[in-house]
Amino acid sequence: MLAILIIAFMASTSLSAEVSYLTSIQGWGYYKVRVSGLMTQANIQAACVAEGMMFPCMRANLDCGGGQQWTADCPALPDNGTDPGVCRVQVLMAESACGIPEPWMCPPLDDTFIYIPGYSASEACGIDVDGPTWCVDGDVVSDLYATCVKEHVNECLNSPCNNGGACADIPDGYLCICQAGWTGQNCQTEVDECASNPCQNGATCTDGLNGYICTCAPSWIGDHCENKQPVEDLLHDSKCYRLSSDSANHADAQTRCTAIGGRLAVVKDAGVQAFLANEFRQGAGVSHWIGLKSTNITFQHIDQSPLAGYTNWKPDEPAELCVLMDKDGGYKWKVEFCDSVHNYVCESDETTCRLNVCQNGGNCTACFNEDFVHCDCAPGFEGERCEIDVDECESSPCQFGGTCKDGIDSYICTCLPGYTGDECQTDIDLCNPNPCPFGWACVDTGPSLNCNAFGRDHGHVRAAVPHSCTKASCPVGMTCTEAGPGSYSCTVG
């Protein structure tokens, strides 16, 4: 806003490079005007007159300072006149421009000279901020500035700013600060918020006051129609179906289905009818147009004579009837005039994708101009693009502590000793055939076996000599461990 203000300020100010605005006091505008030549009173007057301005006197009015240094050539400032020391114009200018009564401390006034009527010498009185000095002798310096004055017109009094715009009075002009939604020098023009085309994807923009409304094309949503409406495509029997979220008459519905590479759904068997009815039931509770309509309806009179002759009383009745799947009738057939407006359901054949986006050998099928892509994954893969290798070990298929290694649509179990089978489900009978010495008993303990020299004599140990493990004691691949006289075990590994 500040930047705009400054630009407008400069644009509406028509001061020449040699004239600059100083300040305003009591309806008078004070300016700094370049003088050529010595800073004499005559040159000061001439410079102001050349710019179409008056020249202020050293004093503000007749009462100020007892009438000295003021003449009727000069504008009178309505000063209260109680303090002649204060009612000098340069002091008043310093107060107005810098908020201090010391002209020599007010930078905008630097090098300005003022006319002093009744003063005996020819020089004007100057201000030097760099000095700092007041009443510099004007007849020894040249080409500095005159103090000039003209009536300050407050253009804002005419209320030039329209539509609630605020007016700022500035030198040689005014500035309108417009309310939101309005523009132009006088806030006379409504901003066309549609000009920047804020509505996307084929939407229509309607300009309003300080705003706009986007009316989205079908299947787009969002304040700026920036989002594609989420659609759910339903696969059934090698066809895709898409339930509309917008509504249209039957012909427009067909056009919209065609535009997305389909057509209004054709219901020819109980399977499709039941499938669609089930989907509608889970939806928004609306009736949908399907691709079914009458051709020529013929009317006839009740006496069976055809409609003929006088038909002027017949308004333009829609000549066709179309079929809805009716929400209030269990999604069965309902006939309506084709120009009534309803949701609709489009169908599309499944086609093979032009580009197979399915990974790991999945088959890619598409509908609705490939807006919908479906992957049939090879066994062992899943995910929208078959990108996931199913972890067949997830269900812990290996039993009795067997370890599982995931494969493609398969797994491999590595069984603990004593177990076998794809899932290690089989406990190997290590005692069949009996690997123990003749006549010894064999006990399978799962991962190992024990050989015990129990004899035929009801449990007496017959072997007087302790068994010594040899290579022959255990089956191949098992390690022998002695366990006292007449007993040892064989362990896998």
Return residues touching ligand NAG (CB under 6 A). Answer: 80, 82-83, 86, 295-296, 361-363, 376, 378
Number of residues lying near Ca ion (CB under 5 A): 5
Nearer to ligand NAG, 209 or 297 (CB): 297
Q: Which of 406, 422, 423, 444 binds Ca ion (CB under 5 A)?
A: 406
286 binds, among Ca ion, ligand NAG, none (CB under 5 to 8 A by kind): none
406 binds, among ligand NAG, Ca ion, none (CB under 5 to 8 A by kind): Ca ion
Minimum gap (Å) between residue 91 Cβ and ligand NAG: 9
**Residue 401: phi, psi to the nearest 5?**
75, 10
Minimum gap (Å) between residue 423 Cβ and Ca ion: 16
Judging by DSSP bridges, how do beta strands 448-452 and 487-492 pair with one another? antiparallel
Minimum gap (Å) between residue 273 Cβ and Ca ion: 40
218 binds, among ligand NAG, Ca ion, none (CB under 5 to 8 A by kind): none
Minimum gap (Å) between residue 370 Cβ and ligand NAG: 18
Nearer to ligand NAG, 362 or 435 (CB): 362
Quick one: which segment of 15-23, 52-60, 277-285, 399-407 binds Ca ion (CB under 5 A)? 399-407
Nearer to ligand NAG, 82 or 238 (CB): 82
The answer to whether the beta carbons of residues 57 and 42 sit under 8 Å apart is: no
86 binds, among ligand NAG, Ca ion, none (CB under 5 to 8 A by kind): ligand NAG
Minimum gap (Å) between residue 422 Cβ and Ca ion: 15
82 binds, among ligand NAG, Ca ion, none (CB under 5 to 8 A by kind): ligand NAG
Nearer to ligand NAG, 296 or 470 (CB): 296
Minimum gap (Å) between residue 380 Cβ and Ca ion: 5
Nearer to ligand NAG, 306 or 315 (CB): 306
HSE-CB of 116 using CA atoms within 13 angstroms: 19
First to last CA, the chain: 87
389 binds, among ligand NAG, Ca ion, none (CB under 5 to 8 A by kind): Ca ion
Please give the Cα distance from 58 to 124 (Å, whole number): 9
Restricted to residues 333-392, the positions that interact with Ca ion (CB under 5 A) are: 380, 389-390, 392
Please give the Cα distance from 285 to 289 (Å, whole number): 13
**Residue 421: phi, psi to the nearest 5?**
100, 160
Give the Å distances, CA to CA, from 155 to 38, 170, 172, 176. 36, 9, 9, 11
Nearer to ligand NAG, 105 or 469 (CB): 105
HSE-CB of 8 using CA atoms within 13 angstroms: 19
Radius of gyration of the chain (CA): 52
378 binds, among Ca ion, ligand NAG, none (CB under 5 to 8 A by kind): ligand NAG
Q: What is the 3-state secondary structure (H, E, C) of 168-213?
A: EEECCEEEEECCCCEECCCCCEECCCCCCCCCCCCCEEEEECCEEE
Minimum gap (Å) between residue 362 Cβ and Ca ion: 14
Give the Å distances, CA to CA, from 177 to 60, 118, 171, 183, 211. 35, 46, 16, 9, 18
Please give the Cα distance from 170 to 157 (Å, whole number): 12
229 binds, among ligand NAG, Ca ion, none (CB under 5 to 8 A by kind): none
The answer to whether the beta carbons of residues 147 and 112 sit under 8 Å apart is: yes
Minimum gap (Å) between residue 400 Cβ and Ca ion: 22
Please give the Cα distance from 27 to 290 (Å, whole number): 79
Nearer to ligand NAG, 223 or 376 (CB): 376
Nearer to Ca ion, 252 or 406 (CB): 406
Closest CA to 117 of 35, 160, 60, 185: 60
The answer to whether the beta carbons of residues 170 and 9 sit under 8 Å apart is: yes
Spell out the residues 6+ positions from residue 452 whose beta carbon is closer than 8 angstroms to its own. Answer: 436, 440, 441, 443, 486, 487
Nearer to ligand NAG, 81 or 283 (CB): 81
The answer to whether the peptide bond before residue 433 is cis (omega within 30 degrees of 0) is: yes
339 binds, among Ca ion, ligand NAG, none (CB under 5 to 8 A by kind): none
Amino acid at 112: T
Minimum gap (Å) between residue 78 Cβ and ligand NAG: 9
Minimum gap (Å) between residue 383 Cβ and Ca ion: 12
80 binds, among ligand NAG, Ca ion, none (CB under 5 to 8 A by kind): ligand NAG
Minimum gap (Å) between residue 84 Cβ and ligand NAG: 10
273 binds, among ligand NAG, Ca ion, none (CB under 5 to 8 A by kind): none
Nearer to Ca ion, 185 or 360 (CB): 360
Nearer to Ca ion, 95 or 389 (CB): 389
Please give the Cα distance from 160 to 177 (Å, whole number): 11
Q: Could you tell me the two tokens for 18?
A: 């040699």
Which residues sit at the interface with Ca ion, rule CB under 5 A? 380, 389-390, 392, 406
